[in-house]
Amino acid sequence: MKKKLMGLLLVLAIGFGQQARADEGMWPLFLISQLQDSMQARGLKLTAEDIYSINKACIKDAVVRLMNKQNRMFCTGEIISQEGLFLTNHHCGYGAIQELSTNEDNILSNGFWAKSHAEERPANFNIGLLSKIEDVTSMIIDSLPTGDDESARSKAAAAMVKSVAAKLKEALGDDKDMYVIEVVPFWSGNRYMAMYYQVFTDIRLVGTPPENIGKFGGETDNWEWPRHTCDISIFRIYAGANNKPAKFDKENKPYAPKYFFPINIQGPQEKSYAMILGYPGRTQRSTFSEGIKFYSETERPMRVKVRRDILDIYESYMHKDPKIKLMYADKYAGLSNYWKKFMGEASALKKLNIYDRRKAEENKFAAWVKNTNNAKYADVINNYNEAYASVAKVGMFGVYLQDGISNSQPMNFAMAAAALEPLMMDKTKKDEVKKAAAEMAADLDKDFKEFYDPIEQKVLASVLMHLVEDLDNASLPKSLTDLAAKHNKDYNAMADAMWKKSVFVSQEKMAKFLKSPSLKKLQKDPIYAVANGYLTEVTKKMQPQMMKLNGQLGKANRLYQAGVLEMSPNALNNPDANGTMRMTYGRVLPYSGKDATFFKEFTTSRGVIEKYTPGDVEFDAPARLIDMMKKKDFGQYADKDGELHICFLTDNDITGGNSGSPVINGNGELIGTAFDGNWEAIASDFAFEPEFQRTICVDIRYSLFILDKFGGASHLLKEMKIIR
């Protein structure tokens, strides 16, 4: 049973046209020819065509887009051998590694290195390789209505995007099933580009360090510097006949890439050139000023509270039982990463004075509109102000759907079962009911693999508490408010009562229900009544207001961005990140995070030893690793200073989705793997802070040291091109 995506897109991010610095921006590949001179002045020895070309093998051919089985992007990787070996972060491969782990063979905890191709294990995700980018703006925009009804325009745009993607895919002929084509808006829908991805589905795990190496420092060190983790995992792409994508088959062969990264183990130096290519997810660099206020004062603090309470419940059981720790490891990692990010953003948005800076930009735009008497943009600022006044009232209901209800597994199961209700109400659709129920039942083993009753019951109580205490009760379903009143807001008692009467709390009860679905039983189920009741309130009763808000914001976003481009036609304007491949360039640099502090641009094994705490949940490490470090048994991976360098900093501009991205020197050689940002610039999705912003990278020498000297997988080095 697949989880529903419950996000309600009430706040649409836009791109404000700040005068872009050459070292700011996650640049689309179709713009990088305009940056070539600036990059070469910084130390790049390549040309723009060496980075992106559709006529010859180039760097973009070695950059991997990690996607789930529904082809939704989540991370980046880089091909490092002539046999399809690719490197990404440990936290990117975490879910696949967990799925391959058992209590008897816990490779998440113990690590794993395949000694041969035959020992490599199938991983449950796909990868995409960008083939080309095609401008399809005219195919979309020329067909859109020109009236004032933004809702009609948005619907028409969505339909055209779908139609154009289908036509482009059909034109691929016999190869069409090997590709995913995404038609993506840039600059808030002022331009559209088609991204062609060749999709490989036979991906196999080759190696991963033990979790206490790959996740050394845990949540304490997350978003922090100095850092000492080897956040890597290694997989291989397999292909069928003619080196093309194919379903898993033992006869498939390692993929022969068009290009793979040579690896430089000489080590990066301060101020040396550093470039990153990857797939940043979403940025909101130009959120309207009132949106900044909404995020900093309401939305982010609420997300932090809800997630923290759930994490506390997870921890109370995970720390006591290794089996429970393995069961909830992936959920915990995903929830906690953004818990800390949201917490930092709420604080940083205020500290960095972003609201006032946005106001100044908006005032500049308004003055330009007035001076040019440009009626096209006259209502943009008013539309923003009106929309955000309403967002502050209703926007949190969507947030609690995402961060609250969707993080309660029984409530999530109940929402998925909502698809059965309209079918069961129609007596002519018995066969459809049977089919839908069977499809849900087929997923139960997977759904309950990560389900522990005591945790889930407490999470349910926590979610109920936040819904009732944090939101306007007048907009909550009566089933919830009546239950809260009946139990005098004793949320544990509420959860206990619901648990006893619901079918969504055990695999056996759900299997029995799905074998013979009953409309009466579904509608009387207390968890279904609350979860589906909330969903109905949000998606149906609030729908007219939401549609109006989306229309106002969508139009304001599109016209504001168009106006900015018109206001500064010669400015090189980088659009917000949108899940497409981007390039960012900069240097290896230290920084000063606050008064009286200075952070060097690299860390060494000395820091691992200093942090090492035997038996600690976050700072334990294999005793053999610590012994090797104390003896300085680093081999060819030692720096010229005699130390093993662990991580380093660059001033590259990245965000979520860039995890696992290659960090490349001026010669196009791999020097590291990006995996995090620093706390001082944690609000970077909203504003670029050149003084503070740093990308935290695993030094490729530490990665190879763990693979070779610690992991004993030296045979993999034979596939690579290593520059010493």
| The pLDDT of residue 3 is above 70 | no
* 91 catalytic residue (yes or no): yes
Share of the chain above pLDDT 90, in %: 85
Distance from C-alpha of 122 to C-alpha of 96, rounded to nearest angstrom: 9
281 class by beta-carbon count within 10 Å (0-12 exposed, 13-18 middle, 19+ buried): middle
Distance from C-alpha of 685 to C-alpha of 26, rounded to nearest angstrom: 11
| The pLDDT of residue 5 is above 60 | no
Secondary structure of residue 197 in the 3-state scheme = strand
Distance from C-alpha of 724 to C-alpha of 712, rounded to nearest angstrom: 20
The residue count for the chain: 724
Q: Report the candidate in 167, 184, 185, 163 with the shortest Cα–Cα distance to residue 176.
A: 167
Kind plus residue range of the DSSP H or E element containing 648: strand 645-650
Check residues 161 and 333 and name the one with the higher pLDDT: 161
Q: Report the candidate in 28, 22, 26, 63 with the shortest Cα–Cα distance to residue 44.
A: 22
| The pLDDT of residue 11 is above 60 | no
| The pLDDT of residue 492 is above 70 | yes
Name the CATH code of domain 43-282+578-723 (choices 3.40.50.300, 3.40.50.2020, 2.60.40.2470, 2.40.10.120): 2.40.10.120
The residues with which 698 forms a beta bridge, in sequence order, are 647, 673
Looking at residues 493-510, what average pLDDT do you find?
A: 97
Q: Report the candidate in 247, 166, 201 with the shortest Cα–Cα distance to residue 66.
A: 201
Distance from C-alpha of 361 to C-alpha of 347, rounded to nearest angstrom: 22
| The pLDDT of residue 17 is above 70 | no
pLDDT at site 23: 62
How far is Cα of residue 251 from the mean position of the Cα atoms in its chain?
A: 33
| The pLDDT of residue 422 is above 50 | yes
DSSP, res 597 = -
Which position has the token pair 């490092």? 80
| The pLDDT of residue 197 is above 90 | yes
CA distances from 648 to 400, 569, 591, 605, 698 (A): 37, 37, 12, 12, 7
- Active-site hit among 23, 61, 202, 231: 231
Q: Which residues contact 344 (CB under 8 A, 6 or more apart)?
A: 223, 679, 682, 683
Mind listing the pLDDT tens digit for each residue in 390-410?
Answer: 887 788 888 899 999 999 999
- Active-site hit among 659, 661, 684, 703: 659
Which position has the token pair 């979520």? 656
Distance from C-alpha of 34 to C-alpha of 20, rounded to nearest angstrom: 13
Q: How confident is the model at residue 146 (pLDDT cuts 50, 70, 90)?
A: confident
Q: Which residues contact 175 (CB under 8 A, 6 or more apart)?
A: 244
Are the C-beta atoms of residues 203 and 56 closer than 8 Å to each other? no
Q: Note the pTM of the prediction, 2 decimals.
A: 0.88
- Active-site hit among 23, 81, 91, 525: 91
Distance from C-alpha of 22 to C-alpha of 19, rounded to nearest angstrom: 10
| The pLDDT of residue 15 is above 70 | no
Are the C-beta atoms of residues 116 and 182 closer than 8 Å to each other? no
> DSSP alpha helices (H): ranges in 283-321?
289-294, 300-318
* 231 catalytic residue (yes or no): yes
CA distances from 589 to 593, 680, 689 (A): 12, 15, 14
Residues of the chain with CATH 2.40.10.120: 43-282+578-723
CA-based angle 714:216:123, to the nearest 5? 60
641 class by beta-carbon count within 10 Å (0-12 exposed, 13-18 middle, 19+ buried): exposed
